[in-house]
């Protein structure tokens, strides 16, 4: 298995290809590759991303079958099942890089900001559970942010939520935390721009 820093560079290179429309020409679902993966996998990175349809992880990073172990949930929140999925990949496949991938104008983050500023009683309790996971990371921003600059507030909230999820992974798992302390695992946070297609790795870089 490649190192975390090598895996991070693979993702950066793939994203540059995606942005420049220089994607790899091989067919990522070809029969040969499917056959190679039929009996096992060795994904070089774990991505915990948002479920947003505009951020398909393998496409954004120009990767194919078997390259990425992807966990997706609205708002890229971290719950026990997400932690367990990351632990699963590190234990079974030896993957050494985890990326928490959020994106600009995240609907779940915006819904949380709306709920904090204009509470309503009509949401599903399941949607409320997502809002409650995001709330602690964005609530402090409301007091500090100028109310007239809604876009800036959303931008800061998106990044705060990404960082919070990354920290949750780093410190809420008795399995992952020792690996991080031994430099056997790297957890970083990144934001995908819906406008440019660029992924900015900004949190927890080595």
The residue among 130, 92, 87 whose CA lies nearest residue 112 is: 130
186 is written with which tokens?
A: 């790297």
Each residue's pLDDT tens digit in the chain (206 positions)?
899 999 999 999 999 999 998 777 554 567 788 888 888 899 999 999 999 999 999 999 999 999 999 999 999 999 999 999 999 999 999 999 999 999 999 999 999 999 988 877 767 889 899 999 999 999 999 887 666 688 999 999 999 999 999 999 999 999 999 999 999 999 999 999 999 999 999 999 98
The rounded Cα 176 to chain-centroid distance in angstroms is 16
**Residues spanned by the domain of 166:** 4-203
Return d(Cα 34, Cα 133) in angstroms, integer.
37
Q: What is the pLDDT of residue 51?
A: 97
The residue among 196, 180, 190, 200 whose CA lies nearest residue 76 is: 190
Q: Which residues contact 139 (CB under 8 A, 6 or more apart)?
A: 116
* DSSP SS3 for 66: coil
Q: What is the pLDDT of residue 1?
A: 84
CATH of residue 186: 3.40.1050.10
Q: What is the pLDDT of residue 135?
A: 95
58 is written with which tokens?
A: 């393998």
The domain total for the chain is 1
Rounded CA Rg of the chain? 18
CA angle, 69 as apex, 196 and 136 as ends, to 5°? 65
Q: What is the pLDDT of residue 148?
A: 66
Return d(Cα 25, Cα 2) in angstroms, integer.
23
Return d(Cα 41, Cα 27) in angstroms, integer.
18
By DSSP bridging, strand 97-103 and strand 45-49 are parallel
Q: What are phi and psi of 62, to 5 degrees?
A: 50, 55
Q: Which residues contact 128 (CB under 8 A, 6 or more apart)?
A: none
Cβ atoms 195, 104 nearer than 8 A: yes
């Amino acid at each position: 298995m490649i190192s975390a820093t090598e895996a991070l560079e693979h993702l950066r290179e793939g994203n540059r290809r995606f942005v420049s429309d220089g994607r790899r020409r091989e067919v990522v679902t070809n029969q040969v590759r499917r056959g190679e993966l039929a009996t096992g996998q060795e994904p070089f990175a774990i991505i915990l991303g948002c479920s947003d349809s505009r951020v398909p992880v393998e496409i954004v990073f120009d990767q194919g079958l078997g390259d990425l172990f992807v966990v997706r949930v609205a708002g890229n929140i971290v719950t026990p099942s997400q932690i367990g999925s990351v632990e699963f990949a590190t234990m079974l496949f030896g993957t050494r890089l985890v990326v928490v991938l959020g994106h600009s104008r995240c609907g779940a983050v915006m819904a949380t900001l709306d709920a904090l500023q204009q509470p309503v009683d009509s949401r599903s309790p399941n949607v409320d559970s997502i809002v409650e996971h995001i709330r602690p990371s964005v609530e402090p921003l409301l007091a500090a942010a100028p109310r007239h600059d809604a876009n800036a507030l959303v931008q800061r909230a998106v990044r705060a939520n990404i960082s919070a999820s990354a920290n949750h992974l780093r410190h809420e798992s008795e399995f992952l935390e020792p690996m991080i302390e031994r430099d056997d695992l790297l957890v970083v946070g990144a934001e995908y721009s819906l406008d440019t297609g660029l992924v900015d790795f900004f949190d927890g870089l080595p």
